[in-house]
């Protein structure tokens, strides 16, 4: 029978010839990840079991959310991760200076690759689907189960196929495609399902823009968001991934629960209005929205390419006097590359503050919290109530060009307005 | 499986994990400490103190959407909530709840009808919700294999330690 890429990866990992949507399987896990928020619960579970043995080479523990540790409790949590890693011989434990946002670290270091089955105790684990692997967010108990057994129970998802055609306009990126898609799908229609991104627009999209798109699959409720691996994938993974990887493709006659086609040649940059990522609207249609803060970073849009786009807009300009711009390159590697190439200098000259690699502002953790009544534009993935600070603050989501331009204008604008 | 008997606390659509337990409390892991901040953005502090043992939360669409934080079902369970009924659940929240032995029921009609403060009797084994206040009854499909195992074992870890995935694989392939 014909199958989708997701079904093929799940079948290969559960020792079956084929699997079908709705089926419950127990699958082998290739790689796992947990952070300073979710790992402590996992660790407590494991330490309660006498003589527990764990899959210590298949996990990365990445304390990224409150790094550099924001308070005593956060420091205690990271200490717990550090000591656990030592005791159990966890191969990949990263800390401040060597640590960044987990979903940027793992692809960058080649710890995940095409054809893998990856789970992570973080909802944006779906990011790695861009590489052509099955990758899904789970909870801390799930992760403990997988650390003990190397396996996880899963329900095989139905797949929604998304087909994009048309050339993207200038200042329009993967972020705009996914925000538009979330609006079209709504935020519940993909619950328990897989999203498969295809079409002529997608085959030209850079790896970073694909990562941005699969990152936000969970905002439609999806279990995973996956791309067919191709030359662009191969180019990205070949010098990074040290394990054997396998490039699966969906069969042309595979069964989908739904197929949606989008002509994106007229798409403008999108902005998600509070308080749902699916509240997307063209930046040209939202009227005058003044902002107090802009944030560029996170696992969604903090990639080197995103910083480069922001720098293109910010070069020789100043951030509006009534606006603050915070930029946090999400990994040390991205930070150093931006430093060497003069991008951080452009940000500094524009009077932005450059933060350390951290999740910090993205989840209202630290380093850029909003007060009551304040408004921010962010290149992140969530604009829920109180996501970046006070419950009465507001978050608007956009691509890095719009965020940078808005920081200059002091209100949300199309990049063309400031260039 | 037990009968759940308790009072209803009703919420709307898209109750995300930031509303159930805000991110700034995620540096805690103690269930009691987390419970003190349950639904804080909606209900204020110490809402857990007025939730009774075995009370029931009703949600709309997409209950538990957002982050993977298990702190959310942990805070619910530690506050005394015995079950959540909703139109739809976000999938990670769904897994997390069963993995710690907190049952969830998908019943859109009940989630729409039932009002704050009403008293319910829920029989998980039989798939029945009875609204004691209005006398209206609802049924829901019996839980599937893995879900029952998780509830019977009071969570994933004891299931793995007691029975193990291998036995479930054998059972499935022989059945
Ligand atoms: S950057 Fe934001 S969305 Fe990404 S892992 Fe960190 S907190 Fe989560």
Which residues of chain B have a CB within 8 Å of the CB of A363? 23, 67
Lowest mean pLDDT among A62-66, A186-190, A205-209: A186-190
By CB neighbour count within 10 A (0-12 exposed, 13-18 middle, 19+ buried), where does B44 fall? exposed
Burial class (CB in 10 A: 0-12, 13-18, 19+), A356: middle
Interface test with B, best of A141, A386, A393 (most B CBs within 10 A): A141
Q: What is the mean pLDDT of residues A186-201?
A: 92
pLDDT confidence of residue B173: 38
pLDDT at B122 over 80: yes
pTM above 0.90, yes or no: yes
Cα–Cα distance measured from residue A74 to residue A236, given in angstroms and rounded to the nearest whole number: 34
Q: Which of A73, A218, A387 sits opposite B28 (nearest CB)?
A: A73
Q: Give the pLDDT score at B66.
A: 86
Separation in Å, CA of A139 to nearest CA in chain B = 5
pLDDT tens for B82-115 read: 999 999 999 999 999 999 999 999 999 999 999 9
Look at residue B175 and tell me whether its pLDDT is greater than 70.
Answer: no
Mean pLDDT of A317-322: 98
Contacts of residue A231, defined as CB under 8 A and 6 or more positions apart, other chains included, come to none
Q: What is the pLDDT of residue B167?
A: 57
Residue A150 pLDDT grade (very low, low, confident, very high; cuts 50, 70, 90): very high
pLDDT digits (tens, 9 = 90+) for A40-78: 999 999 999 999 999 999 999 999 999 999 999 999 999
- Residue pair A354/A328 in contact (Cβ under 8 Å)? The answer is yes
Q: How far is B133 from chain A (nearest CA, A)?
A: 31
Token pair listed for B105: 């029921």
Whether residue B169 is predicted with pLDDT greater than 70 in this model: the reply is no
Whether domain A5-248+255-262 has CATH 3.30.499.10: the reply is yes
SS3 A2: coil
Cβ separation of B96 and A123 shorter than 8 Å? no
In three-state secondary structure terms, A20 is coil
**What homologous superfamily does CATH list for A272-417?**
Aconitase, domain 3 (3.30.499.10)
Quickly state the pLDDT bin for B143 (edges 50, 70, 90): confident
Q: Please, which residues 11-30 of chain B have a Cβ atom closer than 8 Å to chain A?
A: 14, 16, 18-19, 22-24, 26-29
Residue numbers in B near A276 (CB within 8 A): 14
Distance CA B79, CA B57 (A): 11
Looking at residues A141-154, what average pLDDT do you find? 97
Please state the rounded mean pLDDT for residues A246-254. 98
User: Could you read off the pLDDT of A338-396 as tens digits, one per residue?
Assistant: 999 999 999 999 999 999 999 999 999 999 999 999 999 999 999 999 999 998 999 99
d(CA B127, CA B96): 21
Distance CA A211, CA A329 (A): 16
Portion 51-80 of B in contact with A at CB < 8 A: 61-62, 65-71, 73-74
pLDDT, one tens digit per residue, over A301-312 is 999 999 999 999
Peptide bond into B33 cis (omega under 30): no
In angstroms, the CA A142 to CA B155 distance is: 10
> What does the pLDDT read at residue B28?
86
Residue range A113-135: mean pLDDT, rounded: 98
Nearest chain A Cα distance for residue B56, angstroms? 22
- The C-alpha of A74 sits at a distance from chain B's nearest C-alpha, in angstroms, of 6
B91 contacts chain A (CB < 8 A): yes
Within this chain, domains A5-248+255-262 and A272-417 share the same CATH topology = yes
Give the residue-averaged pLDDT of A202-216. Answer: 98
Question: B150 C-alpha vs ligand 1 centroid, how far in Å?
Answer: 29
Residue A21 has pLDDT above 70, yes or no: yes
**What's chain A's average pLDDT?**
97
- CATH of B3-163, picked from 3.65.10.10, 3.90.1150.10, 2.30.330.10, 3.20.19.10, is 3.20.19.10
Tokens of A133: 């692997």
Residue B64 has pLDDT above 80, yes or no: yes
Q: Where are the domains of chain B?
A: 3-163
Q: Name the residue among A70, A141, A187 with its Cβ closest to that of B65.
A: A187
Q: Which residues, judged by CB distance below 6 Å to any ligand atom, belong to the binding site of ligand 1?
A: A 64-65, 101-103, 122, 124, 298-299, 359, 362-363, 380-381
Q: How confident is the model at residue A403 (pLDDT cuts 50, 70, 90)?
A: very high
Q: Tens of pLDDT along A113-123?
A: 999 999 999 99
B14 vs A38, A276, A391: nearest CB? A276
The predicted pLDDT at position B171 comes to 41
Residue A37, CB-side half-sphere exposure with 13 Å CA sphere: 29
Using the atom order of ligand 1, give the atom closest to the CA of residue A298.
1
Tokens 């010098």 -> residue = A239
Which of the listed residues A101, A329, A361 should we mutate to test ligand 1's pocket, taking the one with most ligand atoms within 8 A of CB? A101
């Amino acid at each position: 029978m014909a199958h989708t890429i997701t079904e093929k990866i799940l079948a290969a990992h559960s020792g079956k010839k084929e699997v079908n949507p709705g089926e419950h399987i127990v699958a082998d896990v290739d790689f796992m990840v947990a952070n300073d928020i979710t790992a402590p619960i996992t660790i407590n579970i494991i330490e309660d079991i006498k003589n527990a043995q764990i899959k210590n080479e298949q996990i990365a523990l990445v304390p990224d959310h409150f790094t550099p540790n924001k308070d005593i409790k956060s420091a205690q949590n990271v200490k717990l991760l550090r000591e656990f890693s030592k005791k159990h011989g966890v191969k990949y434990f990263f800390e401040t200076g060597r640590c960044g946002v987990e979903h940027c670290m793992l692809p960058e270091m080649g710890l995940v690759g095409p054809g893998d089955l990856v789970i992570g105790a973080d909802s944006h684990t779906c990011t790695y689907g861009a590489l052509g692997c099955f990758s899904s967010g789970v909870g801390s108990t799930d992760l403990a189960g997988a650390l003990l057994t190397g396996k996880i129970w899963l329900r095989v998802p139905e797949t929604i196929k998304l087909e994009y055609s048309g050339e993207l306009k200038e200042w329009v990126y993967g972020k705009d495609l996914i925000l538009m898609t979330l609006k079209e799908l709504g935020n519940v229609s993909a619950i328990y399902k897989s999203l498969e991104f295809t079409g002529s627009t997608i085959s030209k999209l850079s790896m970073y823009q694909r990562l941005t798109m699969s990152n936000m699959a969970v905002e439609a409720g999806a279990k995973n968001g996956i791309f067919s691996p191709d030359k662009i994938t191969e180019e990205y993974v070949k010098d990074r991934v040290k394990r054997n990887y396998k490039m699966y493709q969906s069969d042309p006659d595979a069964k989908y629960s739904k197929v949606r086609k989008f002509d994106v040649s007229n798409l403008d940059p999108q902005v998600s209005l509070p308080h749902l990522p699916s509240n997307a609207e063209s930046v040209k249609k939202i009227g005058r929205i003044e902002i107090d803060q802009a944030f560029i970073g996170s696992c969604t849009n903090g990639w080197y390419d995103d910083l480069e786009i922001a720098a293109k807009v910010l070069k020789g300009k100043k951030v509006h006097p009534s606006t603050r711009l915070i930029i946090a390159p999400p990994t040390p590697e991205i930070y150093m590359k931006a430093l060497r190439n003069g991008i951080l200098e452009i940000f500094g000259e524009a009077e932005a503050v450059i933060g350390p690699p951290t999740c910090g502002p993205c989840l209202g953790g630290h380093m850029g919290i909003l007060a009551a009544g304040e408004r921010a534009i962010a290149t992140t993935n969530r604009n829920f109530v109180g996501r970046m600070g006070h419950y009465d603050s507001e978050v608007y989501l956009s691509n890095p060009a719009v965020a940078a331009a808005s920081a200059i204008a002091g209100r949300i604008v199309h990049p063309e307005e400031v260039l | 499986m037990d009968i759940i008997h308790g009072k209803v606390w009703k919420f709307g659509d898209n109750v995300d994990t930031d509303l159930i337990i805000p991110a700034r409390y995620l540096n805690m892991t103690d269930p009691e400490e987390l419970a003190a901040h349950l639904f804080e953005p909606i209900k204020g502090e110490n809402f857990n103190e007025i939730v009774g043992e075995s009370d029931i939360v009703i949600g709309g669409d997409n209950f538990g959407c957002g982050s993977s934080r298990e702190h959310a079902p942990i805070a619910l369970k530690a506050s005394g909530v015995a079950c959540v009924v909703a139109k739809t659940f976000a999938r990670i929240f769904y897994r997390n709840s069963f993995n710690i032995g907190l049952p969830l029921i998908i019943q859109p009609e009940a989630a729409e009808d039932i009002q704050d403060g009403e008293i319910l009797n829920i029989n998980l084994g039989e798939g029945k919700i009875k609204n004691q206040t209005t006398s209206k009854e609802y049924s829901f499909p019996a839980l599937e294999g893995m879900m029952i195992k998780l509830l019977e074992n009071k969570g994933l870890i004891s299931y793995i330690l007691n029975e193990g995935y291998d036995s479930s694989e054998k059972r499935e392939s022989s059945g």
